[in-house]
A = this chain, B = another copy of it.
């Protein structure tokens, strides 16, 4: 099958079908390019193989035939079930996990992918493919609410006007928080305003220190800026993974007794329900669709400033 492979450089390659014993084989309908994919091509995590972890597809083979033919999205961490973290109820932190397109598991920028059956989530009819492909990053946005209590009196700043920032703002707003999106791209901020979001540029002052700052800028300097925006004893949620170590002055974190919480994968059920109930708008974030044949061009487009979500279609 065709797939986009990273082995130090990107190439479109013909690779074997990713069949794994006891798992479902899924024909990919749509896959989304995430900043993590771009960071991997810059060295993040040392991954080599088929990229991609955001997808919607159809189950074409499955040990549990009840799943065959169903339209699904899927959790990206495949866990062992018996290590100390799995037994502690933290399977996404499994010591031996593989992660779709990120750690030791061929990803979604391909005609087919393989995942354990327990990772699958059926996509309801009301959620179309262009929405379903956002379930994984939207779940990551909802993870914030699993980790940090946010209520309607909290002032929240989301730092970063990219696709992850846009999803975080919407997830937080659905919890009733007063959210301001702070970014540097005029075109992205105007799109955010079109979605009814309150926005600020980096140059505009945020009026008061925030109770919660979500760092979703994907920028090495994002944490330092988050530190400057959060109130004493406030919380910073770190969503971006950046390839390069960064010079950070952590002393304000100590002096202001700030809490910094790392945040990764989240609850698929909650993300699917939010799409089903139309509490979040993801389709306006789609900037382009490319056939898988043009995946390298699609990656370049996704990495260019000002671009939101770029989708790949393996079977256009």
Chain A residues packing against B (C-beta within 8 Å): 44, 85, 90, 93, 147, 223, 231-233, 238-264
Chain B contacts of A253 at CB under 8 A? 238, 260, 262
Chain B contacts of A250 at CB under 8 A? 223, 238, 242, 246, 248, 262
* Top 3 closest pairs, chain A to chain B, by CB: A93-B232, A253-B262, A245-B249
Chain B contacts of A147 at CB under 8 A? 257
- Nearest neighbor of A143 in chain B, beta-carbon distance: B257
Q: Contact between A248 and B251 (Cβ–Cβ < 8 Å)?
A: no
Chain copies in complex: 2
Q: Which of A238, A244, A254 has the most chain B CB within a 10 Å cutoff?
A: A254
A-B contact pairs, 22 of them (CB 8 A): A90-B233, A238-B250, A241-B254, A241-B255, A242-B250, A243-B251, A244-B249, A245-B248, A245-B249, A246-B247, A246-B248, A247-B247, A248-B250, A253-B260, A254-B263, A255-B262, A256-B262, A257-B261, A259-B260, A259-B261, A260-B260, A260-B261
| A128 and B259 alpha carbons, distance in the complex (Å) | 36
From B93, B240, B246, B254, contact of A262 by CB (8 A): B254
- Nearest neighbor of A263 in chain B, beta-carbon distance: B257
Q: Contact between A264 and B257 (Cβ–Cβ < 8 Å)?
A: yes
| A242 and B63 alpha carbons, distance in the complex (Å) | 56
Q: Contact between B233 and A93 (Cβ–Cβ < 8 Å)?
A: yes
| A147 and B238 alpha carbons, distance in the complex (Å) | 20
- Nearest neighbor of A236 in chain B, beta-carbon distance: B260
From B90, B241, B263, contact of A232 by CB (8 A): B90
Q: Which of A93, A245, A253, A257 has the most chain B CB within a 10 Å cutoff?
A: A257
- With contacts A90-B232, A259-B262 taken as known, whether A247 is within 8 angstroms of B245 at the C-beta atoms is yes
- Nearest neighbor of A224 in chain B, beta-carbon distance: B245
Chain B contacts of A260 at CB under 8 A? 253, 259-261
| A246 and B249 alpha carbons, distance in the complex (Å) | 6
Chain B contacts of A242 at CB under 8 A? 250-251
Chain B contacts of A240 at CB under 8 A? 254
Q: Which of A147, A232, A256 has the most chain B CB within a 10 Å cutoff?
A: A232
Chain B contacts of A243 at CB under 8 A? 251
Q: Contact between B259 and A264 (Cβ–Cβ < 8 Å)?
A: no
- Nearest neighbor of A260 in chain B, beta-carbon distance: B260
| A149 and B54 alpha carbons, distance in the complex (Å) | 36
Q: Which of A250, A263, A264 has the most chain B CB within a 10 Å cutoff?
A: A250
Q: Contact between A232 and B85 (Cβ–Cβ < 8 Å)?
A: yes
- With contacts A245-B247, A247-B246, A251-B44 taken as known, whether A93 is within 8 angstroms of B257 at the C-beta atoms is yes
How far, in Å, is A212 (CB) from chain B's closest CB? 13
- Nearest neighbor of A148 in chain B, beta-carbon distance: B259
| A251 and B123 alpha carbons, distance in the complex (Å) | 31
Chain B contacts of A262 at CB under 8 A? 250, 252-259
